Chains A and B, each alone.
Chain A
Amino acid sequence: MKRYVNILLFLLMPVLSRAQQGTTDSLQQALKIAKTDSARFKAMVALENYYAEDKRAIAINYIDQCLAIARKNGKAIDEANALDSKGYELMHLGKYPESFKYLQQALAIASDPKNEGKTWSLDKNTTPYKNRISILGSIRHDMGHLMGSTNNVDQQITEYREVKKLAAAADDRQLLGMVNMNLGHVYFKLNRVDSALAFEKEAINILNRRGYDMYLSWAYYITGEIYLKKGQKDIALQFFHKSAVQSVATNNVQVTASVYSDLARYYVSEKRPDSSLLYAKKTLRVLNDMGNKDLGDAYENLYKSYRLTASFDSAYKYQGLALLARDSSFKTTIKNLADFEQLSFKTQLRLQELEKEKAAAKTRNTTIILLSGIGILLLLSIIFYRNNRQKQKANMVLEATLSNLKSTQTQLIQAEKMASLGELTAGIAHEIQNPLNFVNNFSEVNQEMIDELEEVLKVGDIEDALVIAADLKQNEQKINHHGKRADSIVKGMLQHSRTGSGEKQPTNLNAIAEEFLKLSYHGLRAKDKSFNAEIITDFANDLPKINVVQQDIGRVLLNLFNNAFYAVNQKKKSAGPAYKPEITVTTLIKNGQLTIKVRDNGNGIPDAIRDKIMQPFFTTKPTGEGTGLGLSLSYDIIVKGHGGKVSVDSIEGNYTEFTISIPV
């Protein structure tokens, strides 16, 4: 079980076991006929190695079996090795907290000298001591990778430096070469190019030998990148070419792809489209052969190359493909960040447990300390201090990342709210203007009527006075009514822009639907005066008030109405004069669910994108017109905030109907 490449530093792809292709059948056969646990174990280790980088679920399955057999037979070193492998696989699956747990278990076992020799896999050329130290080095190497992938760079370097010492003590040439290479890459990313170069030179020196050269191409590649950063282009190109040749010779195709991609980018920057196009196409071919889906860089190089040759059709095509590829890799990033959140939470829990254990250990150990002396106490506190510090550091980084993520999310949601508020402003102005006109008009009329009232009272005409008084009263009611109407519009607008979580309160959804339907309609009218649509409302009379967060539900309805109006308006632009835009809003109570349907006779939603419409940032509107967050926020509000459901029914070219239902 020797895995050395810190793949997370590059791209997540299988590279390591290609050389062994075609051997699975014989391995499976060996496993079948194996009679002893030892033989079964060795066959499974070989199988696990084969799948280690491209079929992680299968690899984990074999690791679990290895773990069971090793434990059954008391082979502690083999157990540590299997735990290490599991930690490594889990790390690549993004399950950082679990990975950390397994690596720590492995570390505890391999650190204990008593376990030396408890293994089936002892080479003739090595000693039990060296064998254990080599395993220990591999575990800490993986621990270093884990620290790196959780952005804990200081800890990563500490681990790698420790690995260097262990690899030297164990005479593990391969591990020594790899750790130098990875140290070089870390320093390169920290922009300390001279240190990086020194490490890579040492790595190349060690790995440049038959039997050890499987990863030599990585070292050449990183060295090329370092020289490029130093501005020594000629030397950089030499190393890129060396890396390409070496990676092809050792079938290390991921390196081949990375080198081609860098070469393409380099020639784009040099404005040499012939060369850049050649390497961009090569990159794409290698990645496609590997089944690698991460094609964003390759497409970007292609489109930039085509742009240089003024082939705008092709450039446009690949620009689109690059965007799509980037979009999907962006989504993976979001998922990984979500995992961070979990890790942070679990690390917190572990820290608390550790605190508890520490307190318990303190009291329990008082007598033992007296007996065992100060030495053990010292050792214990050093271990606790180290662990604690490690975890606290990891925790701090994770918490910072989490809080960044949360604030970005808040900003995005706020941006969406402000965008829809902007669309509304004109509608709101119109909506407020109407009641204000009534308030002004009726109060002017009342002034005239009071003058009149004074005149008839002077004459003593009680009958006329009473008639005028009744009119005055009626007008005052109108003034009051329209004042309140304007008031509720302003309040609604404030609610819409307010941040933070609102409280649920009993709400008449018909009224909310009516209000936002008007706002949405007038908002669109204000932008496009030629627009008109028939609005049909079919509201259930017996609708009970239900508990909802008013501004949230308002936002959902507004979003659905805006979409509906947008859809019919789009269709109107292309359809003939016979087309009559129509929006139908229905409310009803059925099976304990309050249901609101919003239907438009617009262009409908094509089947191909039906699944995507609820995804964040998905929009069919031209760039800059939609945030792509409307439906996704609506979905969160209804499903997560109110335990309801959102569904969509549509026939392309005919209609779209959104249905939201909330339990009463």
Chain B
Amino acid sequence: MSNQNKEKNESDVTEELTRVNDNIWDIPTSHAYGMNVPGRLFLSEKLMGTIDKETVNQVANVAMLPGILDYSMAMPDVHLGYGFTIGGVAAFDEEEGVISPGGVGFDINCGVRLMKTNLLKEDATPHMKILTENLFKKIPSGVGSKGEFKVTDTELTEAFLHGSQWAVEAGYGIESDTKNCESYGFMEGGNPDTVGTKARKRGRPQFGTLGSGNHFLEIQYVDKIYDPVAAAAYGLEEGQVTVMIHCGSRGAGHQICTDHLQTLNQAVKKYKINVPDMQLACAPAKSKEAQDYFDAMKCGANYAWANRQIIMHWTREVFEQFYGKDTDALGMELLYDVAHNVAKYETHEVDGKKQDVYVHRKGATRAFPAGHPEVPQQYRDVGQPVLIPGSMGTPSFVLKGGPNSMSLSFGSACHGAGRLMGRGKAKGSMNGEAIQEELARQGITVRAEKASVIAEEAPSVYKNSDDVVDVVDSLGIAQKVARLIPIGVIKG
């Protein structure tokens, strides 16, 4: 697209939106024929220029699905996806609504976990080259990587059923790991019979691998505390070293989605549902097709939790070996783990009435407020930790679920910085080695399989994470607790 066209598109975008307040813009149902509810974009004026017409249309497409409640929403990190946008949130009525794999994505339970340590920045910085090298050797990453870790078919079934709870029981973690995790480390009701042979075959060799693309493992330090009370509850202090792991369900999840999309693409005809995009294939929430997908999706989500658990375990081993202390002595405790590609059956208030709904979060994080029964006991007084990874080289944030998340966004917040530039373009216009050197000057060691990955994931291809987080903070959806600065990055 030429610049001129792009400018035109952007001006068209605001023309079609209704401004509700500084950070909320609605897409009226008159935008496109068939919208059942309006669209709602959580965007500041500053971020308005980051979205284009195609993205607005994708938000509108989701509004056309049957039984959608309130709004088809998009978080401030929104960008063009497939089916749903990335940063899309939609809740569906249990009776009238649907379940759609398009609202979850192929990388089921792609998510983030944050582990604390009692190390200080100065304990880690001088050793970053060795630490990142050791982590890079220990944790398989990159295209075509497979784990040294071999699981049996029975173990794979256990992982599909019990996620990180299985991993901890199998010796890859400590008891508190599942206590501090969304859904306590697994979604109940996964049914391995709904997972095909192909998904099993893809999932087995990839257990315990990071993957490639935007997935990473990062060593960081807390450089700023915004909310001392919440930070104390989360156990965060300025200068403290943390480790963030961002990855998902690998080939297992991708294949589960692929297989069920095939079925649901035929189901739309059977149930006479008009979908504006085949990627939005869906079925009535209570139908066998939808429930089979949902049960398989849970298996994919559980696989991802087990995967992140195992990767965290190996990270602990690397630190233990390097520092000559055990996990306990190093204070390597999981702070929290969130899924940002998932559908959940949750209770929300709709039109003043409590109702069970299917919330789809595609590139969006759950952000339950203080007092919510699903927030782990030790965090319940402050709210659920919301983990927002930055792009490579830029800050990540820890937020807490805010008081307005339930009324504004079905308990959801943003999930990251949000891309601005395509990967192909990034690779063409940026030099991975130069970026690596620039990051090194800023004190960030990057260890990647190859320089092209660094170019594709360069900080400047993303929106500014501060701008994104400021929107959810201002709206009271999720509020800033701490900012984390990277010092060592492992990229696949």
A is bound by B: no
Q: Could you tell me which B residues sit within 8 Å of A by CB distance?
A: none
Q: Could you tell me which A residues sit within 8 Å of B by CB distance?
A: none
